[in-house]
Structure 1
Amino acid sequence: MNAMKHSRTAALGLAVLLAAPAAHAQDPGTPEQIVDTMNKLWGKHPGFRANHAKGIVLEGSFTPAPGAAKLSKAALFAGPAIPVTVRFSDATGLPTLPDGVKDARPYGLSAKFKLADGTEVDTVLNTLPTFPVATGEAFRDLLVAVSQSGPDVPSPKPIDTFIAAHPSVPAALGGLTTPKSYATQAYNGVNAFVFVDGAGKRQAFRWRVEPVAGTDVFGGDEAAQQPPNFLRDEIVARVGQAPVAFRFLAQLAEPGDPTNDATKPWPKERKMVEMGTLTLTKAVPDSAAAEKALLFMPNNLTDGLEVSDDPLIDTRVQSYAVSFGRRQ
């Protein structure tokens, strides 16, 4: 796909989002400031994303689970298996960051579902249990605090002050681990979205994606001792031997569960419904070229799937658009 087509996709995504009710009026300069600060933290690397710069692209299919269509009228859940393109990634804007260092966390899984009518649906997931902050402005301020907290800055550093005022930051980041494979890691959709069924009933949910092979992560300092590209190399070798599968689960909100604050987890007893299985069968021949062209937008949805009132969805969409424009 060429850059012009992706630019149209980004514009369409923004239009869909702006048509939805907004609970938070974002500072219009925030997305640009977020990407600027990421470039300051990690440098500018032509052709790469401002964040999650290092990745690998694979292809496969998605098969809806029996009963998924009862929750959503989206074509994604209505018929036979459809093609999917997936990108796994490491955090930061450093394209040569070793996979096993702590800065590579959280890891990401983005999926592009290709519907029979030629349209696409995107999901953008990562390994965070919750997001560190609730708004785009707060995320910008978090990044700025990090950028101003170098080793020569006296304590309390700006990041120390920010964390003291935002306990949601350590709550989100404190339990992150490094998987032994992208295929043995669970991924979360920290933002709420909405299913709409055939009768118009709406159900808020958050994605949870679990590996069929089970989770398997490193303990202690083992991850840092692995080769720099071990996650990328391992998933290519693994999928070359056998398909890699993930269960797509939806955690269903109940009345009173916040949908506009990604820092707040819903109770663990909330119902989890299986929506389908993602099966990856091959790595793309030229991942670098595929990564440069791919754009995953959290609001690139279809009838039966809608954004919620979470303000971070707006921030992510617009920041990804800024980053994509610079990448091209």
Structure 2
Amino acid sequence: MPLPTDEKRLALAREVIQAFDDLHGVFPGYRPAHAKGILAVGSFTSTAEAARLSVAPHFHAETPVFIRFSNFAGVPMAADNKPDEASPRGCAVRFQLGEHKHTDIVAHSTDSFPTRTAEEFIEFLHAVKASGPDAPHPTPIEQFLQSHPKALAFVMTPKPIPTSFGRESYFSVSAYRFIDASGAGRYGRYRILPEAGNEYLSTEEAAAKGANFLMEGLAAQLASGAVKMQLWVQLAEPGDVVDDATTQWPVERQQVLLGVISLTKLVPADDVDGRRIIFDPIPRVAGIEPSADPLLEPRADVYVMSGRRRREQAGI
């Protein structure tokens, strides 16, 4: 996936990466956010409903997949049991459609995003960085949240620690247009839900866990059997906002089961191909189109730019 040639887009991507670097520090060979993660492989089996919704190839055949679960922070030693380092957790899915051909989903464990644009997100990260324990009140982040109610709602949304990566729900905050065989399209947002159901720890239970319990737990689970995640899409109705990641749709909107992801084994941490993966929030596949969400292009640019830096630093 190439970087854009537009200098404004490149400059914006650099600003986002720099904001993360300033907040978390630079750890060569790691992502600036969601640095600590674990990669698994398996397969996706689609439903008849998925085939009716879209002509996308992975909705019409069983497809190999990779899934990377991760903690939020850009710190590779971030503790799995500390909300400020682990939450929201990430889940990125790659559908392997052929040699050098794929489409991805990038999701996290909170069903919203704090800002509508990348520029606002940079402001958000700067405000967090400037709001250390010695900062006078109102701190920069308190001021930002006061003037950005959607960001305040995101921050205040409960983010409990799950018992397992495979017992958490994940949401793609941007909408996509799913195109059927007649050429008609409907907007929807992905939801990746645990087949075994959600299960969370109390604050006391989480504090008693080890710093790597989610990573170690997934390895143990896969050693004894498949971990299954259901892929759903929540469909928009006419009049719903489809270009704003801070706006949620009503809970009663129709949801369609697209298929089941069965994870069977881990990818070794030193696997070069696994480490080289750069996930892409833009589908780039027939049958699924990006919405006009202003976060999508900057996110894609940031992933490519930071991914190339990571590869170069790691010598891969």
TM-score (normalizing by structure 2):
0.93
Q: Determine the C-alpha separation between the residues in 2 that align with 1:241 and 1:191.
A: 35
Alignment of 1:259-298 (within 5 A): 259-286=242-269, 289-298=272-281
RMSD over aligned Cα, in angstroms?
A: 1.7
Query: Aligned partners of 1:183, 1:297: CA distance in 2, in Å?
Result: 22
CA contact (8 A) 1:55 1:291 kept: no
Question: Which residue of the partner structure matches residue 65 of structure 2?
Answer: 84
Code of the aligned partner of 1:160:
E
Q: What displacement does 1:67 show?
A: 2.3
Shift of 1:28: 5.1
Q: Are the structure 2 counterparts of residues 227 and 127 from structure 1 closer, same or farther at C-alpha, using a change threshold of 3 Å? A: same
The aligned counterpart of 2:169 is 186
* Aligned-partner residue type, residue 127 of structure 2: A
Deviation string 1:167-207 (CA, Å, 9 cap, x unpaired) is: 11232232111100001001111110110111110110000
- Count of aligned pairs between the two proteins: 308
* Higher mean C-alpha displacement, 209-218 vs 317-326: 317-326
Who is 1:240 aligned against?
Answer: 223
Corresponding residue number in structure 2 for 1:110 = 92
Distance in 1 between the 2:163 and 2:103 partners? Answer: 29
In 1, Cα distance between equivalents of 2:260 and 2:238: 28
- State whether residues 68 and 93 of structure 2, in contact with CA within 8 Å, keep that contact through their aligned partners in structure 1: yes
Question: In the alignment, does 2:201 pair up with 1:218?
Answer: yes
The reply to whether residue 34 of structure 1 matches residue 34 of structure 2 is: no
Moved more, 205-214 or 109-118: 109-118
Which letter maps to 1:91? F
Structure 1: any 5+ residue segments left out of the alignment?
1-8, 19-25
How far the C-alpha of 1:314 sits from its partner, in A, is: 1.2
Aligned to 2:123: 141
CA distance in 2, matches of 1:281, 1:299: 26
8 Å contact kept, 1:292–1:327: no
Indicate whether 1:252 and 2:235 are aligned: yes
Check the 8 A contact 1:60/1:84 in 2, yes or no: yes
Q: Is the 8 A contact 2:267 2:274 kept in 1?
A: no
Deviation at 1:151, TM superposition (A): 1.6
How far off its partner does 1:300 sit?
3.9
Q: Does the 8 A contact of 2:146 with 2:152 survive in 1?
A: no
Among residues 166, 170, 175, which one is paired with 2:148 in the alignment?
A: 166
Matched letter for residue 307 of structure 1:
P
User: Structure 1 152/117 Cα, relative in aligned 2: closer, same or farther at 3 Å?
Assistant: closer
Could you tell me which residue of structure 2 aligns to residue 48 of structure 1?
30
Relative to structure 2, which stretch is displaced further, 254-263 or 144-153? 144-153
CA distance in 2, matches of 1:293, 1:167: 37
CA distance in structure 2 between the aligned counterparts of 1:56 and 1:291, rounded to whole angstroms = 10
Superposition map of 1:191-202 within 5 A: 191-202=174-185
Letter paired with 2:19: T
Structure 1: how far apart are the matches of 2:266 and 2:231? 20
Letter in 1 for 2:218: I
What is the CA–CA distance in structure 1 between the aligned matches of 2:78 and 2:274, rounded to whole Å? 16
Q: What residue number does 2:160 align with?
A: 177
Alignment-mate amino acid for residue 179 of structure 1: P
Partners in 1 of 2:189 and 2:12 — Cα distance?
Answer: 25
